[in-house]
Amino acid sequence: MKTKGHRTEGSRYYPKRYDFDPAMRNAILDEGLVCHVAFQREEQPIIIPTGYCRVDNTLYLHGSVGSHFFMEMAKGIPVCVSVTLLDGLVLARSVFNHSMNYRSVVAFGVTRLVESDEERWMAAERFTEHVVPGRWADARKPSASDMKKTMFIAVDIQDASVKFRAHGVGDDPEDMQLDVWAGVIPLRLNAQLPEADESGIPNIPLPEYLTDYHR
């Protein structure tokens, strides 16, 4: 695996927007919840949003065995997987210089159908723990019937591009004296208070692992 940057922002190169450390790639993937998977199906390009988890250098996706998209990926095809985290809106004095603070990963690899029971169960557990750490030990584990309805696809990362912006306003000198507010509106994914489903046993205490859930 190699992590690289690309000089693709118009005719200008912004080295501060790229990171060559695989640890940065892993941190972004581990914080995200949804990825977009792009591949070619016959003559039509396909992009699908789906959940994922990372285990070492491999991304795991899961879906229904009846999904046409997952059946296509089960054949072993090249894919591009992207994850973006939006950290802030950058408001400059000039509309032209407005921007966003973000972290993103674009990963490339070839899909692989996960067939062994051991790897399937590992993927199921790691997927659950990626979304809500502590949930696997608390909730009912998948039954044999559940697992038969679920397809796991692995993507071993062969190449990855990491790009980010993490700074403030970049106005032109001639705009600095404009009477216009400029700055950054920070953004983050915030979990709200859990809302219990009382259709089963009522008044079950909130699990400790949910009392401070955050990404």
Q: Domain residues of the chain, as ranges?
A: 2-168+179-186
Q: Which of 60, 57, 61 is nearest to 25 (CA)?
A: 57
CA dihedral (193, 49, 15, 90) in degrees, to 10, reads -50
**Structure confidence by residue, pLDDT tens digits, 33-43:** 999 999 999 88
* CATH number attached to the domain at 2-168+179-186: 2.30.110.10
- Three-state DSSP class for 30? helix
Give the three-class secondary structure for 5.
Answer: coil
Q: Is the pLDDT of residue 7 over 90?
A: no
Instruction: Return mean pLDDT, the chain.
Output: 92
Contacts of 46 (CB under 8 A, 6+ apart): 38, 39, 40, 69, 72
Global confidence as pTM: 0.89
- Residue 103's H or E segment, with its range, is strand 99-113
Residue 111 in this model has a pLDDT that exceeds 90: yes
